[in-house]
Chain A
Amino acid sequence: MSESKVNFKQSILDALSNPNLTGALGNFSVAYRAGRAKAYEGIDFEALRDQIATIKGDAAGRFDELAEKFAMAAEAKGAKVFRTSDPKAVKDYILKLALDRGVKTIVKSKSMATEEIHLNKHLEKAGIEVQETDLGEWIIQLAGQTPSHMVMPAIHMTKEEVTTVFNTKVEDGQKPDIPKLVKFARGKLRPYFMKAEMGISGANIAVAETGSIVIVTNEGNARMVTTLPKIHVALIGYEKLIEHFKDIAPILIALPKSATAQLLTSYVSIITGPVPNTDGTPKELHIILMDNRRKEMAHDPRFKPALQCIRCASCLNVCPVFRLVGGHVFGKVYTGGIGTILTAWFNALKESDEIQSLCIQCGSCKDVCPGKIDIPDLILELRRRLAVEQGLPAIQKAIFSVVNNRRLFHSMMRAASIGQKPFAKEGFIRHLPLFLSGMTENRSLPAIADVPFRDRIKKIKQPKCSEKAAFYGGCLVDFAYPEMGEAVVKVLNKAGIEVIFPEGQTCCGAPARYSGAYEVAAQNGSDNIKALLAEDVKYVVSACPTCTVGLKHDFAAHLEAVGRTDELPAAKELAAKTWDFSTLAAKLVADGRLKFKKGIEPLQFTYHDSCHFKRTLHADQTPRNLMKQAGHELVEMDECDMCCGMGGSYTIKLPELSAPILKRKLQNVEKTGAPLVLTDCPGCTMQIGGGLDKSGSRTTVRHTAQQLADSLE
């Protein structure tokens, strides 16, 4: 491993071994989920975020035009507007202004843009006192740290740690009593507000048509920063521009709800040109619009949507990885999912090399993003570009050649499952995608089937039917869980559908996709399309959501990404006839082709939502309803749709993170008391089943197909 990789791994281990951090973030993530849901009660979130995405997406396409309009409007009201693409020019502008006006003390309200360019350091070097006034920012300023969260910069610290910082950096004698610590901060910061000659703020929105800036806070410090000093400097990234004043409404409606689960923050200030100072003199208002690669981003069609971000940090709050490691593992300024993307742009693509690997691709953030940004997809795009720029490691290339040769893959896995040692020694198994790592510390591994499903199906006596379905196995059903495939055949046979297994099918391309190797993934797609369309079948069905997403969405995307557009019509033909198992079964029930057994013994079960099944296929209620129709009783677990930590090869690349994610899932499962966990994903079955087995639990995990096969007449 390179030195930076070692440091990165170490930063993860440090974070995980900090119980304050994992405890505080874990509790917060639970409270946030409930609070956010309550704040959005009665609001059509999808409609709201469509509106925001449209407003901000439109603005991102016209940054220059809107910046010009903003400057005209704000200057007409008496503000000075400075536009620049260069962070250094921003720092020089503010420093020169401060020196020209004889400024000795500056008070700041929270501004991520100033963090982005490390403004404080620049001003302090020139002998100017710079005082952060947002409580969280002040704490980390005193502690000499960087923000770990965009909205709550000091969320990683306990009250005891804050007390120590106050005692050592400000005044001894403070006790870890939060209201008293807050009072202490009020008392200590008040004189700075009164004496500062300059106030620096950021802004949440800049309105082009009126030249207004909108600042959202809870503490009231931004009102003071923009009122008490005679000079106000607002530093604003171009992505804060919108055209119309009325369009601040959807952003102001969403931002507090998504950020802190509030209906509205305590204070919103809308400033349009300079106001009089407290002594009656006119205030000097400088507004700096900073580019720092935002315009370049707007010209990149893949990344333009990232400019729809309103900096609410909800992508951090729902992330199963962030809540384990906090922000500092991600870097120094912007953290979490969106922070990974911003770091790649505002700093350099190379700097996102390690942090992008933290993303487990569960899609939780995509669901809650008020800017409607497909964050996981953009992180994958970073991964792809990194792979193009740096090339794939030789070992990974070798792996793909194995994965794509199904017979060889099976025999190697079979051999590995019998005797892992010789392989593990070579350091080879550890790097195989999927489950061949010797990673048995936290969960058992399934035995590799001695006969893969592709051979077993030949022995199943199927009725001759007029309708046919092609079954797409995927590695897990084919090699580890052939019984799931058998259950699928059993159910479909009952509905009068014969199942065939096209031999030419190969890997779905997910391992390549999630490594950024789109050429390999596209070839996988192409091979599968040919195999699955070779025979005339009515349905193509899969019992693995990741594979289904491949067949339905990603094959076409990969082919398009690498320019193989002539294969798109076939990809679309395949997509149109592809079904996930549960959705097809529900249709067959609805059509009266499947009937439930009568007098079934009701079973309590809990349901785990696998990420792709819920968030890409949106089929999460279907298996629940099928099982309820069958007469079973659903006991929902907490965080039923939180990732189980499997994430394909994630368990191998970052086992230290996958393991605690799994642990939490197991706790939530056990709390329900249900003896059975159902899921629609063989990967989740492996992860959760292996975890339960390792912990000695008697709870079992099954695929919906297996339970359904037992519940039908």
Chain B
Amino acid sequence: MGAVLESSALIELFKTRAEAVSAQFEHLATRAEAIARIIELLRKEGIADQPQSYAVCAACPAITPADQAHLSAEVPGLRFDVTRELAAEAKVGISQLEWALANTGTLVQAADAPATRLVSMLPLLHIALVSTKAVLPDLPAVLERIDPRQSAYLSFITGPSRTADIERVLTIGVHGPERLIILMVDELPAPPFAGAQKTEAVQ
């Protein structure tokens, strides 16, 4: 994409492209804000401790054990012990993803742990956390940083699930989520796979 974009320009481009594919984008400063926003969103979705109303969250550095306790207390029905059955009965899935690709509005995840895929696959709403520092310009940039032998399942997610198989009419939410909310947070610990190279990525 020609000259290297400033990180703020990359974030702006990411937002534009993600919104163009029907994702919702929010930029937050701190982890505390992110936790508060998650609670707000889960309440709005009517998350409760009963089938069809759970929320499931895959383990990630962004949400510490202390946060888990706090979140569980605030939102009954939010579960961290993700199983396929729970995920299938959940309205909302939450996970942290490693990278964001600006020019396609894509999120990238090293998704070896099945929970990371279940939460972004079975519920109708996926809330995706990603660090502001993890925005890369494009696909080739992330491929340079990935060795697939280090992660057996790499997931690229660009907007919600979609189809145009009937009369070429774009319809959102076929098998996967019909909504994707991206919370991009400035102050967010990196997932392990993103590793030390992350800071270099946004220079």
Contacts and interface: CB of A to CB of B under 8 A. Distances in A.
Interface of A: 24, 27-28, 31, 42, 73, 77, 133-136, 139, 152-155, 157-159, 162, 178-179, 181-183, 185-186, 189-190, 193-194, 207, 210-212, 218-221, 223-224, 226-228, 245-246, 248-249, 252-253, 260, 262-279
B121 A266 contact: no
B76 to A, nearest CB: 24
B162 A266 contact: yes
B30 interface: no
B33 interface: no
Nearest to A272: B148
Interface in B4-61: 17, 21
Interface stretch (B67-75, B149-157, B184-192): B149-157
Contacts of B121: 220, 223-224, 227
18 contacts: A139-B165, A139-B166, A152-B165, A182-B166, A186-B174, A189-B175, A193-B175, A194-B88, A218-B161, A219-B161, A220-B177, A223-B121, A224-B175, A246-B143, A252-B139, A263-B158, A269-B153, A276-B113
Contacts of A159: 166-167, 169
Given A135-B166, A268-B156, A77 B149 contact: yes
A218 B115 CA distance: 21
A159 B171 CA distance: 13
Given A218-B174, A219-B161, A267-B156, 8 more contacts: A139-B165, A157-B167, A178-B171, A181-B166, A218-B162, A266-B159, A270-B156, A273-B149
Contacts of B117: 223, 227
A212 B148 contact: yes
Given A218-B163, A219-B176, A270 B148 contact: yes
Interface in B110-164: 112-114, 117-118, 121-122, 139-140, 143-144, 147-149, 151-164
A267 B158 contact: yes
B39 to A, nearest CB: 27
Contacts of A194: 84, 88
Contact of A134 (B122, B158, B165, B166): B165
B96 interface: no
Q: Chain A binding site: helix, strand, loop or mixed by DSSP? A: mixed
A155 B88 CA distance: 30
A272 B174 contact: no
A558 B83 CA distance: 66
Contacts of B88: 190, 194
Nearest to B121: A223
For B163, B165, B174, B176, the residue with the greatest tally of chain A CB atoms inside 10 Å of its CB is B165
Closest 6 CB pairs between A and B?
A220-B176, A136-B165, A268-B156, A220-B161, A270-B154, A219-B174
A271 B156 CA distance: 11
A186 B158 contact: no
A227 B113 contact: no
B188 to A, nearest CB: 23
A253 B140 CA distance: 9
Contacts of A221: 174-175
A212 B105 CA distance: 24
Contacts of B143: 245-246, 248-249
B193 to A, nearest CB: 13
A442 to B, nearest CB: 29
Q: Chain B binding site: helix, strand, loop or mixed by DSSP? A: loop
A696 to B, nearest CB: 35
Contacts of A272: 148-149, 151-154
Contacts of A73: 149
A414 to B, nearest CB: 50
Nearest to B83: A278
Nearest to A271: B153
A142 to B, nearest CB: 13
Nearest to A181: B166
A170 to B, nearest CB: 14
Contacts of B84: 194, 228, 278-279
Contacts of A269: 153-156
B106 interface: yes
Given A31-B168, A275-B152, A223 B173 contact: no
Nearest to B140: A249
A260 to B, nearest CB: 7
B153 A266 contact: no
Given A227-B118, A275-B112, A264 B156 contact: yes
B158 A264 contact: yes
A267 B140 contact: no
A270 B173 contact: no
B152 A273 contact: yes
B63 to A, nearest CB: 21
B174 A185 contact: yes
Nearest to B157: A267
A267 B118 CA distance: 14
B167 A227 contact: no
For A252, A262, A270, the residue with the greatest tally of chain B CB atoms inside 10 Å of its CB is A270
B95 interface: no
Contacts of B154: 269-272
Given A249-B143, A273-B152, A263 B162 contact: no
B151 to A, nearest CB: 7
Contacts of B166: 135-136, 139, 154, 157, 159, 162, 178, 181-182
Contacts of A136: 163, 165-166
Contacts of A218: 161-164, 174
A514 B195 CA distance: 59
A157 B154 CA distance: 35
B168 A153 contact: no
Contacts of B169: 159, 178
A159 B162 CA distance: 17
Contacts of A211: 149
B152 A274 contact: yes
Nearest to A32: B168
A28 B158 CA distance: 23
Contacts of B167: 24, 157-159, 178
A207 B143 CA distance: 13
A155 B118 CA distance: 30
Contacts of A274: 152
Contact of A271 (B105, B140, B152): B152
For A189, A221, A267, the residue with the greatest tally of chain B CB atoms inside 10 Å of its CB is A267
A278 B121 CA distance: 13
Contact of B114 (A153, A190, A275): A275
Contact of B139 (A139, A253, A276): A253
A262 B175 CA distance: 19
